[in-house]
Structure 1
Amino acid sequence: MPQIVILTIAMELLEASGYLARGAFLVDRLLQVLGLSGRSFLPLLMGHACAVPAVHATRIIRDPRERLTAILVLPLMTCSARIPTYALILTTFFAAYGAWVQALLFVGLYFCGILASLVASLALRRTATRGRSLPLVLEMPAYRTPQLGFIARKAAQTAGRFMRDVGTVILAVSAVLWVLLQVPMPGAVPAGPPAAASAPAPTPVASSIAGGVGRSLEPITAPLGFDWRINVSLIGSFGAREVMVGTMGIIFGIEDAEDEPAPLAAQIRDAKRPDGSPAYTMRTGIALLAFFVLACQCMSTVAAIRRETKTWRWPAFVLAYSYAAAYAAAFVAYQVSGLLGLP
């Protein structure tokens, strides 16, 4: 939530000072090439904070085709909910390369999200939402000094909406996942001793209901380098992306993993397969980053798209194309990195 409040304050400062409308005008020509207009600038910018209010903000777009296009590509923007997961993955798999490399990769992930959304917009405007765009007509506001009290109230309202709309989802998903990670799978046979001395002892989580679901998905996700633990975390992160870090913390027995990811990162690096080989490598981290850049891992965003489009057709479309693209990107990243000799 702090990231959302900070980004909200920044956008309100730009809007209140009169710079936001001018920014929309400046990027209009570029967005026209991609089938959008300057009116899409604000929703796309808000998407870096949270896609839910950004989807609602598309109401300012007069052209219905352009508005639908903006709604469909907003889940690709790198929202603040992805930051904890990115931080965990970079800390886990790229710690040896230093802070500068991790920072560059983090910035690169943001640009990947922007590029993906623009490419998707270009494709949609030539297929599902093709049609002539309306020209941008804006009245430039005068430059003025922002009213800090008004901006503070807007930030507080944004925080309240986030706690109501997204925070409740995070709490509910976390509670359900905790239960599923503790309750044994009916008929599950406890895991035997590890095959190698260096392998970890089996834990109750492995034979839980959530663990069973994660294992059932391993034939699908194995080409991406994912195991049942990552599968369970990805399922949980569909409720809210932030939940992935907490879920991995529960699986590995690390408390407060969201606040201090270093112990969890160490546990992930040290995790072993039953044969004693590393469970996760840099290839796994690269594939996971590729997956998270493109996947629509947010139940609240799907619900917001349903409310704005008044049909389940477009939320289903977003889920289908984003997960297909995410799976393909993760598959290519994992396999190509292996061909390049990465561990």
Structure 2
Amino acid sequence: MKKTFLHLLLLSGCVCLLASCIEDKAEDAAHRLVVSKADVELIQTGTLNTGSKASLDVLANRGYVITSDAEWLGVDKPVGKGRVSVTLEAKPNETAGERTGHLTVTSGKLTEKVTVTQTLDPDPDDGNPVGYVYYLEDFDWIAVYGGADCVGVGSQDGAKNIYSTGDALQKFGQAGLEDYNPVGRTMYACAGYFKMGATDKQTGIILPALKIGRKKASNVELTFEACPNIGGSGKVDAVTVTVEIVEGPGTVNGNSDRKSEGIKPDQAWKWTPMSVKLYGVTAATRIVIRSTQQGDPGVTAGEKGLFRWYLDNVKIVKAPRN
């Protein structure tokens, strides 16, 4: 009984000690302060060149305070705690030149400074209304090369490789399209759409440059339909689709990323509608729709395996600015 009682006493003490440690840790945790950006550039209107207000992500486990050294610059959440998205509030720059302000983020003894530069650059928006169509491609012209309706009949048989089918490759180029991984030679014509990829090889389609005015930009929404392939095993290929800006200005889905996360078209022999927003694109921007598994040709090798898929009905329209 003594041994049991002793063990219980020791166990109880450990539990209490553990609980005390956890409690102390919660109360006395060291300050942590992380600010997502050190520099921000705004245009004359006080926004980013996409028309959206600039923001910062602040992580401060013990709380934060943000102060500004410029009367024209502030934030919507000057005080907060935890992980907070803070929006910058800047007045239009009506001075004769570029100006600079600083935001100081303080948490206990920790301090981070953000430099905000506001130029006299005008709003680059091209002025087109929301919904304006920049690009519309249903790929119906590729049907003349006799490719099968693979998605419709539920079989990959009958897709025609454009590299060995008449002048299909030439017509592909004349449409302003480029094969993202031409070395793989795995672009196939179907009955009004494309099949991409083969065993251990993947690719995508680089879209034509958009007709946007000189020194102008736009926020756009890219929509398309994708379908995964199913081979002889009867198993759906585990492909995901990525939208990436491979040349020129622009970001994806409202942040600093140049490419989207992989989107999964997981319906067997059915088209999956997909949508991605891109911000600040110009006439110099080139967009690719590709298999995520492809990686960057010439930089990283694509994944080994079966990641074949179909693409149809690509459309790019003007999106709201915010």
Structure 1-normalised TM-score? 0.27
More helix by share: 1
Q: Which of the pair has more CA radius of gyration?
A: 2
More strand by share: 2
Structure 2-normalised TM-score? 0.29
